[in-house]
A = this chain, B = another copy of it.
Amino acid sequence: MGPGPISAYPSVLRAMSAPLVGQYDPFMTATMAETQDLYRRVWATENDATLLIDGTSRAGIEAALVSLIRPGDRVLVPVFGRFGHLLAEIAERALAEVHTIEVPWGQVFPVSAIREAVARVRPHVLALVQGDTSTTMNQPLEEIGEICRAHGVLFYTDATASLGGNDFEMDAWGVDAATAGLQKCLGGPSGSAPITLSERAVEVIRSRARVEAGIREESDPDAADFVRSNYFDLGMILDYWGPRRLNHHTEATSMLYAARECARVLLNEGRAAVIARHRLHGEAMLAGVGGLGLGVFGDLAHKMHNVVAVEIPDGVPGEAVRSTLLADFGIEIGTSFGPLHGRVWRIGTMGYNARTDAVLQTLAALESVLRRFGASVPAGGGVAAAEDVYAATDAPGGD
C-alpha cells in the first residue's frame, strides 16, 4: 500500500510466464501492434507513435527528453515536487538551457503561472509532471496544451504516477509527448515505460540528424544534432516499432506481455470505471486516516486519487510504525523524500490495491500499530469513516 511499486494484478504476473518467441516471429510483431493499439486507448489518443520503452518509467522520461531536446534548447520545468527536479536534471544533462519555476511542496501551479512563464521563457519544450508521488499533487493539465500551441512549444508530461487512476486526455488536452510506467495505477511491475508522441513531436524527432553505424569522421561534435543516446533515440525506436521493423534493441518480451495485460485489465474494466474506482478508494482512505485523527499533507483539492500523505503524529516513531506494519501485517506504506522526510507516510490505493479490503485492512492495521506505539486513536474510527464513504456511493466498493 505504498506510493508504488505496488502489488500487481494477478493476471499481469501470470502473463509474464508466457513462452518467449523470436523478435520477428509474427506472433511477436502482432503482440507489439496489439499493445500499441491498447495503449492508444489508455492514453486517449490517436497517435500512431504509441509504444513502449524498454526500461523503467525513468527510461521513458529520458527517451522523450533526449529525443525532443537539442543541445542549447530552452526547456521550462515547473517544479512542484521531486520529479520536477528529475525532469530538470535530465534536461540539464541533455545540455538544455533549463528554466524552472517553483511552488512549495503540497501545491500545484495555477494555469496563469504557467502561461506567464511560457510567454516569458519561450521554451522549445515545456516539461511538466502530472502527478508527483513525492507530494501527492496532481497538476491540472487541461489548458496547458493550448498555451503551448499558441507559443509553438512542445508539451511533454510525465504521467507515471497518475495514468490510469486520474483523468488523462492526450489528444483533447493537446499533449505532445507523455510517458508512464506500469508500477503505479496500471498495476504491473516496473520495467516498461508506455510512451506516446504527437505528430508534432515525431516531426521534431525525425528532423534530428541520424547516426549510422560507423564513424563520424570530422564533423563538429558540439554542433551536431544527433541524439546523444542510441538506446533512447526515438527515431530508431519508432522504426523498430513501425512498419519498417528495423532492428534496434531486442524487445523485452516478458515486459511486453506485462504491459499488454495491464492495458487489457484497465480497458476490460473501462477507463472511466478504473478512474472512478481509484477516486472511490482514495476518498475512503483519506476519510479513514481522518477517522484515525491523523492530519493529511497538501492541497486536497489537487490530490491524486491514488496516494495520500499522512502526517506522522508527534511522538510516534514513523519508521518503527512502517516496519511493524510490514512485519506483523504484511502491509507496506511509504516513507517520503526531501522536505517531507520524516514528516509524512505515503499510503497508496492504486491498481490492484484500489480495493475495499485493502483499504479497510490497512486502516485497521494502522490503528493497531499506532496504539501499540502509544498513540491515542479512536477505536474503529478509520474503518468506520472509510465505510461511510463506501456506503454513500452507488459504485460497488470492491473491484
A residues in contact (CB < 8 Å) with B: 2, 4-8, 13-14, 16-26, 54-59, 62, 66, 71, 82, 85-86, 88-90, 92-95, 98, 100, 181, 183, 189-191, 211-216, 221-222, 226-232, 247-255, 258, 326, 332, 334-335, 337
Contacts and interface: CB of A to CB of B under 8 A. Distances in A.
A162 to B, nearest CB: 15
Given A183-B250, A213-B89, A229 B230 contact: no
A318 to B, nearest CB: 14
Given A16-B17, A93-B230, A230-B86, A5 B250 contact: yes
Contacts of A232: 229, 231
Given A17-B13, A228-B93, A191 B252 contact: yes
Contacts of A26: 326
A337 B23 CA distance: 14
Nearest to A90: B230
A93 B67 CA distance: 13
A338 B95 CA distance: 34
A17 B188 CA distance: 11
A191 B92 contact: no
A247 B16 CA distance: 26
Question: What are the 9 closest A-B residue pairs judged by CB atoms, nearest first?
Answer: A191-B252, A85-B213, A16-B16, A189-B254, A55-B55, A190-B250, A22-B332, A58-B249, A56-B249
27 contacts: A5-B22, A14-B17, A17-B17, A21-B332, A25-B326, A54-B55, A54-B56, A55-B59, A55-B249, A56-B249, A57-B250, A59-B59, A62-B229, A71-B221, A85-B213, A88-B214, A89-B211, A92-B215, A93-B228, A93-B230, A94-B228, A95-B221, A183-B250, A191-B253, A191-B254, A247-B337, A254-B254
Contacts of A6: 20
B17 A93 contact: no
Of A2, A4, A7, A20, chain B has the most CB atoms within 10 Å of the CB of A20
B17 A5 contact: no
Q: How many copies of this chain? A: 2
A322 to B, nearest CB: 10
B332 A25 contact: yes
A326 B2 CA distance: 45
Dominant secondary structure at the A interface: loop
A6 B339 CA distance: 47
Contacts of A7: 19-20
A229 B90 CA distance: 7
B19 A13 contact: yes
A250 B192 CA distance: 11
Nearest to A214: B85
Of A55, A57, A252, A326, chain B has the most CB atoms within 10 Å of the CB of A252
Contacts of A253: 5, 189-191
A107 B238 CA distance: 33
A72 to B, nearest CB: 8
Contacts of A90: 230
A252 to B, nearest CB: 3
B252 A62 contact: no
Contact of A54 (B22, B191, B227, B247): B191
Contacts of A93: 211, 226-230
Contacts of A227: 93
